[in-house]
Structure 1
């Protein structure tokens, strides 16, 4: 189920959009100011963000700028302002689309579908490309990992975990985020499962080859670094 974050200070509008999105089968979270919305975007996994420009505490353009420092999620701006300069500022700042209030919900839903479809197509293209780091090479289509030309045998879960970490190279991923992306939102085993599989990976891709690839960020999670 795709997850959408609504960052909108007008609670009635946010609630209306939430109900429509849930009716369409999306999972929804809401924030009513820029700071709370930015924190949710930073700490939870989403597939798309609906972002109002006129927000308290932190305006939408600044929220957009900060999100783009760590995420390329599709972002659709919602605003009552229709000046060209606002559209240009938002799009130049990294927004994927722009819709002016008042809008027909059918149009918003269509724009959401287009943005999600573009992201899915992009992910499919990227996911088929070989990923690498130093002597390590991962081939998604073959589901193979080679280190110094040696084939390393990984289980499905180990491969998926390594693939996800490599796709997000240099980005610190929390245990909860990793758990939800690799094990699924309904997994009830706890984040300790992530630590266990990180140990499995290290035993297979680091220790036998004298490499340091996966780094622990104390109190947060894990990251694969270029260094």
Structure 2
């Protein structure tokens, strides 16, 4: 189910958006100010963000910049600001689309579908659907891991961490990038989280967890998946 974060300070519009999206089987989170939006996006990363620019505590462009610090999820701006300058500011900050108020719900839903479709296509192009090693197989599309004939049960956090590493085979992924993408900006310095979860992944996937073959540590820098 696609998770949408709706950030809007008009309670009537917020309610209408939530009802319409839920009726179309989207999972909806809501926030009425920028600080709450950033907290929600960090704690439970959405698949797409619908964002009003005129928020009571901060400009929506600040929210875009903050979320873009760790997330590539599509951001669709919903705003009563019609000028080209405002649109350019939002798009340059990292927004993917700009819808001016008042808008048609059908048009908004079409743009939302297009944004999620583009994200899915980009993810599919970025990495193979199935990654085979001598010791385990990862099906990225089905979100399943097997060792021989046995399924390996991963927690959502373990899966997210493994997915990022496997999507960058042979490349160093920094500690900061992993912390931002998996846990959010509040935990960007908590490298002990990485040590704990990488140890858990190695116990589940490596033949010799104390001498890993696939999930390699680059001391002080980050981690690397070696196919």
**How high is the TM-score relative to the length of structure 1?**
0.71
Q: Which residue is equivalent to 1:106?
A: 106
1:171-190 maps to which residues of 2 (within 5 A)? 171-172=178-179, 173-174=182-183
Query: Is the contact between residue 202 and residue 214 of structure 1 (CA under 8 Å) also seen in structure 2?
Result: no
Query: Is the contact between residue 52 and residue 60 of structure 2 (CA under 8 Å) also seen in structure 1?
Result: yes
Q: Which residue is equivalent to 1:153?
A: 136
Q: CA RMSD in A?
A: 3.0
Q: Which residue is equivalent to 1:144?
A: 132
Structure 1 pair 157/85, CA: closer, same or farther in 2 (3 Å)?
farther
Q: Which residue is equivalent to 2:47?
A: 47
Is 1:164 aligned to 2:163, yes or no?
yes
3-state SS of 2:210 partner: helix
Shift of 1:22: 0.6
Is 1:198 aligned to 2:201, yes or no?
yes
Shift of 1:36: 0.3
1:82-97 maps to which residues of 2 (within 5 A)? 82-97=82-97
Give the whole-Å Cα distance in 1 for the aligned partners of 2:83 and 2:116.
Answer: 26
Is 1:121 aligned to 2:104, yes or no?
no
Structure 1 pair 209/5, CA: closer, same or farther in 2 (3 Å)?
closer
Shift of 1:144: 1.4
**How high is the TM-score relative to the length of structure 2?**
0.71
Give the whole-Å Cα distance in 2 for the aligned partners of 1:158 and 1:62.
Answer: 39
3-state SS of 2:201 partner: helix
Shift of 1:157: 3.6
Structure 1 pair 163/203, CA: closer, same or farther in 2 (3 Å)?
closer
Deviation per CA, 1:41-62, whole angstroms, max 9, x where unpaired?
1110311000110112222000
Q: Which segments of 5 or more consecutive residues in structure 2 lack a partner in the other structure? A: 138-145, 184-196
Structure 1 pair 11/196, CA: closer, same or farther in 2 (3 Å)?
farther
Shift of 1:203: 4.5
Shift of 1:164: 1.3
Query: Is the contact between residue 158 and residue 197 of structure 1 (CA under 8 Å) also seen in structure 2?
Result: no
Structure 1 pair 107/66, CA: closer, same or farther in 2 (3 Å)?
same
Deviation per CA, 1:179-203, whole angstroms, max 9, x where unpaired?
xxxxxxxxxxxxxxx7895352475
Q: Which segments of 5 or more consecutive residues in structure 1 lack a partner in the other structure? A: 129-139, 146-150, 175-193, 216-222
Query: Is the contact between residue 202 and residue 212 of structure 2 (CA under 8 Å) also seen in structure 1?
Result: no
